[in-house]
Chain A
Amino acid sequence: MKWAAPMAVLGIVVLVAVGTWSLFPRPEVPPWEEATAVWGAENAVAAIVLGARLWDTLFEILVYAMAMVGVRLVLRPLWRTGSVPPLAETPLLRRAADVLLGPIVVFSVYLAASGHLGPGGGFPAGALLGSGLLLLALAKGADRLGGELHEPALERGEYGAIALLLAVGGGVLFFGWKGGSLCVGLNFLIAVEVAIGAWVVLHQFTRTRGEV
């Protein structure tokens, strides 16, 4: 019994290795330029994520939103009212936030706007914006930032972004809409959704901190 788990791990690793071995030589990459141009994109990954596999992306966003709803619902009853230990503040982080926050926001908007033409897209843009929020929270104190950001408005923004995303995605899926501007719109909505979700995780986790 003691060796069951290591043997299981070894078996899994051997299975994966055998599977990998059968992958060589790797298949030829199909001609992707024309298929990419059909969706109004130049980045093949964006054409796949926002075009050919849009069902996948939409349900991925729904799974993400459901996970964030779960985080919210489960953690909110556990919020500590009084004795939350304070977070340490450093002048270094404060200066870093002063200098870096503007470029972070601008670069995330750039990534969302140009994701169908080059490297980038909605998910990296949202993750970058969420990291910017994390930096701001570390510099200002998460509680202060949480007080300044209006939580119900953020929630409404998140659900509104999902609704718009489903509407635009339905247009692409059922009415055959195509084009670069649709890619930009989808990327921006995905970025908003991912950034708000990242902020939800950050805020809820810092609100529940404390000793066991």
Chain B
Amino acid sequence: MAACALAIALVGLGFWTLIRRRNVIWKLLGLNVAAGGAILFLVAIAHRPGAHPAIVGLGPGPTADPLPHALVLTAIVIHFATLALSLVYVIVLTERRHSQDVHKLEEDR
């Protein structure tokens, strides 16, 4: 429950940064924080009270839901790849326009 609340707070904080900041790199950082919140949310909803990971031979008792864990794997890798690609475009933008401010980039084209 606390982890779910923290995840929602992280997503809110990330979206806030994504929308309110004017620097492109800060926007990407906000997206990064929001993605971290999403990953934490998936891990949190996989949890059961007193559970152990879904691996054979860890003894009786409740196990965590393995499907959100698999989704987290996808989320982390894709997030890394897209973040690298978007940072590349920030590099190109900085080379060509010498600015990372969104308002400035939109004004003088």
Residues of A within 8 A of B (CB): 5-6, 8-10, 12-13, 16-17, 20, 23, 26-27, 29, 32-33, 36-37, 42-45, 47-49, 53, 56-57, 60, 63-64, 67-68, 70-71, 74-75, 78, 117-119, 121, 123, 194, 197, 201, 204-205, 208, 212
Contact = CB atoms under 8 A, between A and B. Distances in A.
A205 B88 CA distance: 8
Contact of A74 (B53, B82, B92): B92
Contacts of B35: none
Contacts of B84: 67-68, 71, 201
B16 A6 contact: yes
Given A9-B12, A9-B16, A45-B66, A119 B55 contact: yes
Contacts of A16: 8, 11, 41
B45 interface: yes
Interface residues of B, number: 42
Given A13-B8, A42-B57, A212-B94, A60 B77 contact: yes
Chain A to chain B: the 5 pairs with minimum beta-carbon distance, closest first = A67-B81, A44-B54, A44-B66, A42-B56, A48-B70
Contact of B12 (A13, A43, A78, A212): A13
Interface string B62-73: 111111011001
A28 to B, nearest CB: 9
B4 interface: yes
A75 B81 contact: no
A212 B101 CA distance: 14
A195 B92 CA distance: 25
Given A16-B8, A20-B4, A67-B82, A43 B55 contact: yes
Contacts of A20: 4, 8, 41, 45
A42 B54 CA distance: 9
